[in-house]
A and B are shown apart, each in its own frame.
Chain A
Amino acid sequence: MRLVTLSAILSIYLLRANAWEIPENFAETGHSNNWAVLVDTSRFWFNYRHVANVLSIYRSVKRLGIPDSQIILMIADDMACNPRNPRPATVFNNIKQHINVYGDDVEVDYRGYEVTVENFVRLLTGRLPPETPRSKKLLTDEGSNILIYLTGHGGNGFLKFQDSEEITSQELSDALEQMWQKRRYHEILFVVDTCQASSMYEKFYSPNILAVASSLVGEDSLSHHVDPAVGVYIIDRYTYYALDFLEKVEPSSSKKLSEFLKVCPKHYCLSTVGVRTDLFRRDPKTVPVTDFFGSLRPVELTMNIVNVLPAHVNKTQPVEPEVKYTYVSQFPNLSSYT
Chain B
Amino acid sequence: MRYLIYLVISTLLVYGLPYSTAQDDFFDEELLLKPLASGHVYAYFQFTTLWEAPNNVQTFQHSHLFPRGLGEIIGRHKVDELHISLTEGLWNYEKWGYPVHDAGSGAEIFAWFNKNVSNVNNEWKSLTNALAGLFCASLNFVDSSNSMSPEFSFRPTGIVKEPPNSSYLRYSSLPREIVCTENLTPFKKLLPCDSKRGLATLLNSAYIHNTNYHSLGIHFRSVCRNAGCTKSSLELRQTVSLVYDTLTEATQDWSIRKLFGIGIKGACPLASLSNVYIDMTSNETVHVYQLTPSPNTKVTSFRGGQQQQLAVYDIRTYSNRGMFNIAAIYTTPKTSSVTYPSVLYANRYIIGYGQERGSLVTKLHNNHWQSLDVILLENIPWYLPVYLHTVKVICNGQQIKPLIQRYMPGRERTRPYYLELVLRLPPHSVTKFSIELDYLFLKWQEYPPDANHGFYMGPAVITALLPIARNYTALPLDGSTITSSFNASRNGYLVQLRTESLLISLPTPDFSMPYNVVCLACTAVALAFGPLHNITTKRLVLKNVTRNWKKKLLSFVKRLTKDTKDKTD
Instruction: Please report A residues at the B interface, Cβ cutoff 8 Å.
Output: 43-44, 78, 80-81, 87-90, 102-109, 111-114, 129, 131-136, 162-164, 318, 320, 322-332, 334, 337-338
Contacts and interface: CB of A to CB of B under 8 A. Distances in A.
Contacts of A162: 449
Contacts of B563: none
Contacts of A328: 155-156, 160, 163-164
Looking at chain A's contact residues, the main secondary structure is loop
3 pairs of A and B residues whose beta carbons are closest in the complex: A133-B133, A81-B180, A325-B159
**Considering residues B140, B156, B164, B494, which has the most beta carbons from chain A within 10 angstroms of its beta carbon?**
B140
B129 interface: yes
Given A106-B185, A107-B186, A133-B132, A323 B161 contact: yes
A326 B511 CA distance: 56
Contacts of A87: 206
B177 to A, nearest CB: 8
Interface in B205-236: 205-206, 208-210, 222, 224, 228-232
A163 B453 CA distance: 14
B136 A330 contact: no
Interface in B237-271: none
A114 B182 contact: no
Contact of B181 (A80, A109, A136, A325): A80
A81 B209 contact: yes
A114 to B, nearest CB: 6
Contact of A78 (B141, B178, B206, B465): B178
Contacts of B477: 327, 330
B422 A337 contact: yes
A151 to B, nearest CB: 17
B494 A331 contact: yes
A134 B133 contact: yes
Interface string B461-499: 001110000000000011000000000000010100000
Given A44-B450, A89-B181, A332-B422, A325 B232 contact: yes
Nearest to B163: A328
Contacts of B181: 80-81, 89, 102-106
B160 A325 contact: yes
A134 B134 CA distance: 9
Nearest to B373: A334
B132 A324 contact: no
Interface in B150-164: 152, 155-161, 163-164
**Considering residues A114, A131, A326, A334, which has the most beta carbons from chain B within 10 angstroms of its beta carbon?**
A131
A330 B450 contact: no
B449 A113 contact: yes
B125 interface: yes
Nearest to B211: A88
A105 B184 CA distance: 9
A131 B152 contact: no
B204 interface: yes
Contacts of B373: 331, 334
B126 interface: yes
A330 B134 contact: no
B67 interface: no
Contacts of B449: 43, 113, 162-164
A134 B424 CA distance: 48
A172 to B, nearest CB: 20
**Considering residues B136, B228, B375, which has the most beta carbons from chain A within 10 angstroms of its beta carbon?**
B136
A337 B421 CA distance: 13
B121 interface: no
A334 B494 contact: no
B88 interface: yes
Contacts of A329: 155
Nearest to B126: A131
A111 B224 contact: no
Nearest to A322: B230
**Considering residues A111, A113, A318, A325, which has the most beta carbons from chain B within 10 angstroms of its beta carbon?**
A325
Interface string B94-131: 00000000000000000000000000000001100110
**Considering residues B54, B181, B206, B448, which has the most beta carbons from chain A within 10 angstroms of its beta carbon?**
B181
Contacts of B205: 89, 104
Contacts of A331: 152, 155, 373, 375, 463-465, 492, 494
A124 B58 CA distance: 35
B200 interface: no
A163 B511 CA distance: 11
B178 A112 contact: yes
B231 A322 contact: yes
A300 B536 CA distance: 81
25 contacts: A44-B450, A78-B178, A80-B209, A88-B209, A103-B181, A104-B204, A106-B181, A108-B136, A111-B136, A111-B138, A112-B176, A113-B449, A136-B132, A320-B54, A323-B230, A325-B159, A325-B160, A325-B230, A326-B160, A327-B159, A327-B478, A330-B157, A332-B152, A332-B375, A337-B404
A318 B161 CA distance: 19
A328 B478 CA distance: 11
Contacts of A114: 138, 140
B419 interface: no
A106 B204 contact: no
A164 B140 CA distance: 21
Contacts of A163: 449-450
Contact of B448 (A113, A327, A334): A113
A108 B138 CA distance: 10
Contact of B404 (A107, A129, A132, A332): A332
B129 A105 contact: no
Contacts of A129: 129
A132 B132 CA distance: 9
Contacts of B133: 109, 132-136
A34 B224 CA distance: 47
B403 interface: yes
Contacts of A323: 161, 230
B179 interface: yes
A320 B206 contact: no
A330 B180 contact: no
B190 to A, nearest CB: 13
A323 B232 CA distance: 9
Nearest to B58: A318
A164 B186 CA distance: 31
A112 B138 contact: yes
A111 B204 contact: no
Nearest to A323: B161
Contacts of A132: 129, 133
A35 B403 CA distance: 59
Contacts of B161: 323-325
Nearest to B161: A323
A108 to B, nearest CB: 4
A332 B464 CA distance: 10
A113 B132 CA distance: 14
A331 B152 CA distance: 7
Contacts of B54: 320
A327 to B, nearest CB: 5
A107 B185 contact: yes
B138 A89 contact: no
A108 B182 contact: yes
A89 B208 contact: yes
A237 B140 CA distance: 35
A323 B164 CA distance: 16
Contacts of A88: 206, 209-210
A337 B403 contact: yes
A88 B477 CA distance: 36
Nearest to B24: A317
Nearest to B152: A332
Nearest to A313: B62
B13 to A, nearest CB: 23
Contacts of A104: 181, 185, 204-205
B307 to A, nearest CB: 25
